[in-house]
Amino acid sequence: MASPAASTTGIGARIPRRELKRLLAGHGRYIDDIRLSRMLHAYFVRSPHPHAKLVSIDVQRASRAPGVAGVLTAVEINPRCEPFVGVALHRAGHRSAPQRLFAAERAVWQGQPAAIVLADSRAEAEDAAELVEIEWQPLPVVADQFQAIAPGAPVIHHGMPDNLAFDFTLEQGEPAKAFAEADVVIEEELRFERQMAMTLEPRGLIADFNPSDGSLTVIHAHQSPFQMQEIFANYLGIPEHKVRVVAPDIGGGFGLKLNVHCDEIATVVASVIFGRPVKFCVDRLESFVSDAQARDHRIKCRIGCKRTGEITAMEIDDIGAVGAYGMPMRFNVAEGMMAVVMTGAPYLFNSYKARTRSVYVNKNLIGMYRGVGMPLACIVGELLTDLAAHELGIDTVEFKRRNYRPKSTLPCVTPGGQRLETVSFHECLERLVGLMDYDKLRREQRELRERGIHRGIGIGTFCEQTAYGPPYYGPSGAAISTQDGCTLRLEPSGSVRCLTSLTDQGQGTLTAVAQIVAETLGIPVDDVSVAGNDSAISTYGGGAWASRGTAVGGEAALRASTILKENILSLASAITQTPADELSLANGQVINSKTGLSVISLAEVGRIGYFRQDTLPKDFDVQLSVNASFVANDKPYYMANGVQASYVEVDTDTGFIRLLGQWAVDDCGRVVNPLLVDEQVRGGTVQGIGAVLFEECIYSEDANLLNGTMADYLVPMAYEMPDIVVSHVETPETSTRLGAKGIGEAGLIGAMGAVWVAVNDALRPLGARITHQPFTPERVLDALARAKLR
């Protein structure tokens, strides 16, 4: 690698996402900004019932409405696509019913599509949709996880014995004995309501099937064009090399746009049937009833500790309501599995018992959303340890100092089976304590309590599995690539073109890739152009999801640029008759490594390499386009870690919670761009705060969504949010040359743990505890009222 001084825009430089200049001038091209000629617009007719028999469907009137090209139902759509069976092959006993694109005889969730209307405009499609006449006969509903597993509960999927999708248990050490021997045992029941990813730009795609050559191009606001290429090819029966999926500018992903949504696949089917481009852009009201949702867990958990302060055992029993089916490609076991395998990972203890169950309910599917089950693990571990520390009369920071896994124990495998190699819990904690001035805040908290002001301090420690590798997804049977690739081409002018398999929904992955290439080749970042987001033109890869873009795609870029550097030096050596090992690259020049003086410019190397090969030795092989793919065959993930703190005030009269301060210290290995990383952390943190305080899909007892507008579903807005202090500890991943781990989900995970603990810390002197997320004012007041009754 070039010396760090090679460029002020290379690795480590704080440069903004390079697309911003264009996006902030209104020159973005998001999915709904694109129109193709002869394009039809799609709108879906959905089940208004969580569970109902579809008695009859009549599309005659709708088909005659102005501008309508056609209305298709399960009869036309379903046979065109193989059913999805969202079963993870490596999870023994995991069960899911086959999922068809449209409800045929029965709808099993509110919002399940039953018909697609295709018209010349979206407005005409919506108007016509109102004319589709469906007779529904409501059926008994399974609304939540406890109802789902109760004896005699209606079974959602015929052919399955019950509503249980998955039941996993784990036991390490001797938990029964360890709990029996504990001096203090703390037990809690936690509840996490359903929420949404709520990208500001809803989902969308334009499917463009060309009937004359049988090719399919899909412009898809999706985080993984490769995943969708595979699905369109294999499920719709189109030769894979004739399928191209291209992502335009995307208005946020957060995992939502990684899921496989049946309405999106049906849009592609409609394009195949009509032989015309079809656009489907979800509007906000549709997003509430059709976007894959997240969370929905009930957790029982406990911790046992010795009076001396060490943890003897932890236990977690999770049950998640995963909706009506398993999410294709991503399953429905991930949230629960992540929760149980990650709980307590930062702490030293040997005895652990865990169980997670996924159960089907008559609700929309649970899909991928930032953090997956990791925030649940963080909350369980941090709430229990904080409560235990208090019970033992030990300050929570001191408790963490004593119980975190120290560097001297690494590498190790946690009781949950997590391999920790380069984590840095103590360094992160000490940095945090200094940043927030912990002792001062505790003093302030004590003083204010005497005046009836209830403030709380919470610390959220977490591990984060980032950048999954093939040992994680491979055995699941899903065709999900965890490799990424990079193609580089030296242009005759001496600038460089980079083509990556990555995508970018705002994180700045493509900027980080440009910095890595610029650094290695000793050129300014402005001399590197990066293209990605396209399944047809780059090497095969994964995309940007699961905090993987820079860690995996960045490593591929580093490897490709190292090869290109060697090739450039070899060519320069042939041109200048200087030994290649005496040459290096800096400031757009090939330089003499010893003197630092320019030997030849990259532009001159490019000119000769492309136009004057006649001046080179006869057998000299000029290769100025190079390619590298990267995946760690043996790594299930790169484990990142961090710790956050929240300072909150609870108004005990109104139940309102105010965030007064938020601090985040993260260790994502080598930081390629501190500005982008800081902003990832801040953005994730606010999503985490939103989850704990506001966000909830409110359902009635019979599974009807009650808050399907943004006026009723609260998200964090600027006024309620605090400033967020961010800092980094850098412990590089040792198995890659780049040394980067992921950062995308860290902010959310740590913030959720910190806010949970802080609010409960504030309520502690009042004898109240709140364990039902989100912590709405009503729930806060209920918790206070319960405490008074005690």
Q: Binding to another protein by residue 537, rule CB under 8 A? A: no
Cβ partners under 8 Å of residue 176, min gap 6: none
Q: Binding to another protein by residue 37, rule CB under 8 A? A: no
Q: Binding to another protein by residue 283, rule CB under 8 A? A: yes
Q: How far is the CB of 516 from another protein (least distance, A)?
A: 18
Q: How far is the CB of 126 from another protein (least distance, A)?
A: 11
Q: Binding to another protein by residue 198, rule CB under 8 A? A: yes
Q: Binding to another protein by residue 28, rule CB under 8 A? A: yes
Q: Binding to another protein by residue 252, rule CB under 8 A? A: yes
Q: Binding to another protein by residue 24, rule CB under 8 A? A: yes
Name which of residues 727 to 756 contact another protein (CB under 8 A).
747
Instruction: Identify the residue among 1, 12, 30, 390 touching another protein (CB under 8 A).
Output: 30
**Nearer to another protein among residue 163 and residue 505 (C-beta):** 505
Which region, judged by CB under 8 A, interacts with another protein, from 22-30, 264-272, 292-300, 518-526?
22-30
Three-state DSSP at 468 gives coil
Q: How far is the CB of 61 from another protein (least distance, A)?
A: 6
Q: Binding to another protein by residue 19, rule CB under 8 A? A: yes
**Nearer to another protein among residue 667 and residue 678 (C-beta):** 678
Q: How far is the CB of 122 from another protein (least distance, A)?
A: 9
E strand map for 467-602: 484-490, 496-500, 528-531, 583-586, 589-592, 598-601
Q: Binding to another protein by residue 709, rule CB under 8 A? A: yes
Q: Which of 532, 614, 602 is nearest to 567 (CA)?
A: 602
Instruction: Identify the residue among 1, 12, 23, 391 touching another protein (CB under 8 A).
Output: 23
Q: Binding to another protein by residue 471, rule CB under 8 A? A: no
Instruction: Identify the residue among 318, 679, 696, 745 touching another protein (CB under 8 A).
Output: 679
The CA distance from 293 to 287, in Å, is 10
The helix or strand, by DSSP H or E, that contains position 640, with its residue range, turns out to be: strand 638-650
Q: How far is the CB of 198 from another protein (least distance, A)?
A: 6
Instruction: Identify the residue among 636, 684, 742, 750 touching another protein (CB under 8 A).
Output: 684
Q: Please provide the size of the chain in residues.
A: 790
Q: What b/e readout covers 28-38, taking b as 16+ CB neighbours within 10 angstroms?
A: beebbebeeee
Residues 357 and 170 sit within 8 Å (Cβ to Cβ):
no
Q: How far is the CB of 287 from another protein (least distance, A)?
A: 9
Distances 739 to 175, 233, 429, 631, 730 between C-alpha atoms, Å: 37, 35, 22, 13, 9
Q: How far is the CB of 362 from another protein (least distance, A)?
A: 26
Q: Binding to another protein by residue 31, rule CB under 8 A? A: no
**Nearer to another protein among residue 156 and residue 221 (C-beta):** 221
**Nearer to another protein among residue 484 and residue 678 (C-beta):** 678
Cβ partners under 8 Å of residue 119, min gap 6: 40, 41, 43, 65, 67, 68, 69, 125, 128
Instruction: Identify the residue among 72, 103, 132, 250 touching another protein (CB under 8 A).
Output: 250
Question: How many chain residues are in contact with another protein, going by CB under 8 A?
Answer: 63
Inter-helix orientation angle 396-403/425-436, to 10°: 160
Q: Binding to another protein by residue 710, rule CB under 8 A? A: yes
Q: How far is the CB of 725 from another protein (least distance, A)?
A: 9
Q: Binding to another protein by residue 241, rule CB under 8 A? A: no
Q: Binding to another protein by residue 317, rule CB under 8 A? A: no
Residue 64 backbone phi and psi in degrees, to 5: -95, 0
Instruction: Identify the residue among 26, 151, 579, 617 touching another protein (CB under 8 A).
Output: 26
Instruction: Identify the residue among 4, 8, 29, 493 touching another protein (CB under 8 A).
Output: 29
Q: Which of 714, 736, 720 is nearest to 554 (CA)?
A: 736
List, in sequence order, the alpha helices (H) in 358-424.
Answer: 374-392, 396-403
**Nearer to another protein among residue 135 and residue 283 (C-beta):** 283
Residue 596 backbone phi and psi in degrees, to 5: 80, 5
Q: Binding to another protein by residue 70, rule CB under 8 A? A: no
Inter-helix orientation angle 374-392/334-342, to 10°: 30
**Nearer to another protein among residue 160 and residue 675 (C-beta):** 675
The three-point CA angle 256-74-202 to 5° equals 20
Q: Binding to another protein by residue 367, rule CB under 8 A? A: no
Q: Binding to another protein by residue 687, rule CB under 8 A? A: yes
Q: Binding to another protein by residue 66, rule CB under 8 A? A: yes
How many Å from the N-terminal Cα to the C-terminal Cα in the chain? 65
Q: Binding to another protein by residue 620, rule CB under 8 A? A: no
**Nearer to another protein among residue 222 and residue 559 (C-beta):** 222
Cβ partners under 8 Å of residue 617, min gap 6: 574
Instruction: Identify the residue among 175, 204, 248, 251 touching another protein (CB under 8 A).
Output: 251
The three-point CA angle 196-31-673 to 5° equals 70
Q: How far is the CB of 13 from another protein (least distance, A)?
A: 12
DSSP code of residue 216: E
The three-point CA angle 674-255-709 to 5° equals 110
Instruction: Identify the residue among 36, 246, 441, 675 touching another protein (CB under 8 A).
Output: 675
The three-point CA angle 281-285-289 to 5° equals 95
- Looking up tokens 């003197």 gives 595
Instruction: Identify the residue among 242, 284, 300, 401 touching another protein (CB under 8 A).
Output: 284
> What is the CB neighbour count within 10 angstroms for residue 526?
12
Q: Binding to another protein by residue 450, rule CB under 8 A? A: no
Q: Binding to another protein by residue 508, rule CB under 8 A? A: yes
The CA distance from 545 to 555, in Å, is 16
Instruction: Identify the residue among 580, 721, 766, 787 touching another protein (CB under 8 A).
Output: 721
Instruction: Identify the residue among 42, 52, 54, 65 touching another protein (CB under 8 A).
Output: 65
What is the three-state SS of 80-116?
HCCCECCCCCCCCCCCCCCECCCCCCEECCCCCEEEE
What is the dihedral angle through the alpha carbons of 234, 237, 239, 241, rounded to the nearest 10 degrees? -50
Give yes or no for a cis peptide into 83 (omega within 30° of 0).
no
The CA distance from 379 to 603, in Å, is 55
**Nearer to another protein among residue 119 and residue 423 (C-beta):** 119
The three-point CA angle 775-776-780 to 5° equals 75
Q: Binding to another protein by residue 59, rule CB under 8 A? A: no
Q: Binding to another protein by residue 254, rule CB under 8 A? A: yes
Q: Binding to another protein by residue 199, rule CB under 8 A? A: yes
Contact track, another protein, 407-446, x by CB under 8 A: ----------------------------------------
Instruction: Identify the residue among 201, 335, 527, 667 touching another protein (CB under 8 A).
Output: 201
> What is the CB neighbour count within 10 angstroms for residue 64?
11
The CA distance from 783 to 775, in Å, is 10
Could you list the residues that contact another protein (CB under 8 A)? 16-17, 19-21, 23-30, 32-33, 61, 64-66, 123, 127-128, 131, 198-202, 249-252, 254, 283-285, 505-508, 675-676, 678-679, 682-687, 709-711, 715-721, 723-724, 747
